[in-house]
Structures are given as structure tokens and as C-alpha cells.
Amino acid sequence: MLRFESVSHTYSARGIEARTVLNIPAWSLMRGTHALLRGVSGSGKTTFFNIAAGLLRPTSGEVYLEDQPLYRLSEAARDRIRSAKVGYVFQTHHLMPGFTALENVLMPMMFAQEIPTALRRARAHDLLGAVGLANYARHRPHQLSAGQRLRVGVARALANEPLIVLADEPTAALDAASSALVMEALQTTCRANNATLLVASHDPALVVRFSVICDLHDGHLTESESAPA
């Protein structure tokens, strides 16, 4: 489903020593798998997600999403795949400032044009309800708490029924109850769609929710199976 082949990424800039943050010879995730990506701050988790989402071309190697080589495709084709097949929960919520929570959730549906127009609004309301924000649909980002904004981000990532959901620290700013709600929404929706879920988190409480645990250390990825809860 998602496959990394000889992927490495090096940050280099004039006057700064080049730094390789990712070096993954081979790695893949089957469709429908729920995996947790762990790693200390600066270990390259966000870089890993950006490469997986088709946002950041790796220095070398290729990423396959459903056997499509993302970086051999045109940028426009990658945009189309990202909008239709990838749901991304950003570490910082990144909501559109002038738009309501509902409109923020509608946004990826407008870009992808996969879901019929007539169904979009109802789906956006359902998703907001699933993350506990049914009564906040008309609120704008500045009228929401950090946790609520993050939950809108989760609802938005699920909008297009993506094949893969990448969630970068989705529970970092949430209390235990909200964290459980968000994780439940993510996992339930992904299970319903047989979508792959990859969550980056420091939260040890989340380990039990995942069947696959990946650790990123010094740019290297190791994978282990989680013990059942």
C-alpha cells in the first residue's frame, strides 16, 4: 500500500553542514494497517510524513502509494493523489483562518471532487460530530481552543475517505478524554474505509491501539509488532 524504496533525505543549505535525516532502504505498510511511528523530536518523523504524503521529494529513492511511484509522477498528478487518497493531520493544526470549522472540513472535498457536492455538507457535519465538535461547525479557528482546532484538522483529514491517513502528533495538545475521542474517530473511520493509519506520537498510552510500531532513530526505521492490549 505504502512502500519506501531506498529513500534517503538530506537537508543541506549554504553554510550549514548537510544532515541526513532519513535513510530507509526498504519499508512498507499493508493496506488497512494501523501503525504508530515513534521517535524523539528531530528524528525525522515530519520529514517521513511529508515524503509519504508526496509533499517533499526525497533526496534519493522512491515512494509508492498503491504501487504508484509518487515522485515519478508530475506535481499535478501528485496533488490529485494527495487530495483524493491521503489525509494529513498536521502537527500544528493549520486551519484556514477565514473559514468556519465546517468549511475547513469541506475544503479537501472541494479540491478532490471525489464526493458528490450534495453529500459533502452532511459528511462534514458527521465528521465534526465524530470528533465531538457538532456544535462548533460555524466557529472560525480563532473561536476554537487549540484542542478543538486539532480535532477539526482530524475531521478534515478524514473528509475524502482517504486510503491512508498520516497523523503527526494528533493528540499532543489534547487531554486524555479528547485524545481518546480523536483516536477513536481516526481508527473507526480508517477501519470503516479499510484505510491505512500512520500516527506519529510520543504518547505511550497510544501504543496499545496499534498493531505495528515503527521507531525512527538516527534516520533509520525499525518495525516491531505491538503486544495486544
Partner 1 sequence: MTYDLFLAWRSLRSRPISSAITLVIIGLAVALPLVVLTLSDGAKRGIVRASDPFGVLVIGAKGSGQQLVLSTLLLQGAPVGNIPTTLYTDLRDDTRATLAVPIALGDNVGGARLIGTSADLLELRPSTTEPLTFRIVQGRFFEADFEAVLGSAAAQALGLTVGNTFLASHGVAPGLEEDVHDEPYTIVGVFDSTSSPYDTAVFVSLESIWHAHEHEEDERQQTFDNANEPTEPEEMITAVLVKPAGFIEANLLWQSFSTGTQAQAAFPGQELGALFDLFAQVERILGAVGGLVLVIAGLTAFLSLYNAIAAREGTIALMRALGCSRTSIFRMVILESLIATIAGIILGQLLGYVTALVIAALLTAQSAIPVPVQFLPTQATLLWLTPLLLGVAAAIVPAVRAYRVDIIQKLFPT
Q: How many residues bind partner 1 (CB under 8 A)?
A: 27
Q: What is the DSSP string of 60-115?
A: EEEEEETTEEGGGS-HHHHHHHHHHHEEEE-SS----TTS-HHHHHHHHHHHH--S
CB of 208 to partner 1, least distance (A): 29
In sequence order, the 6+-apart residues with CB closer than 8 A to the CB of 190 are 32, 34, 165, 196, 197
- Tell me if 53 contacts partner 1 by CB under 8 A: yes
CB of 171 to partner 1, least distance (A): 19
Q: Among residues 83, 178, 179, 201, which is the contact residue for partner 1, using CB under 8 A?
A: 83
- Tell me if 55 contacts partner 1 by CB under 8 A: yes
Q: Among residues 29, 35, 112, 185, which is the contact residue for partner 1, using CB under 8 A?
A: 112
CB of 214 to partner 1, least distance (A): 20
Distance CA 80, CA 74 (A): 10
Distance CA 99, CA 132 (A): 19
Q: Among residues 98, 116, 204, 228, which is the contact residue for partner 1, using CB under 8 A?
A: 98
| Binding footprint of partner 1 on the chain (CB under 8 A) | 11, 46, 50, 53, 55-56, 75-76, 79-80, 82-84, 86, 88, 90, 94, 96-99, 107-108, 110-112, 156
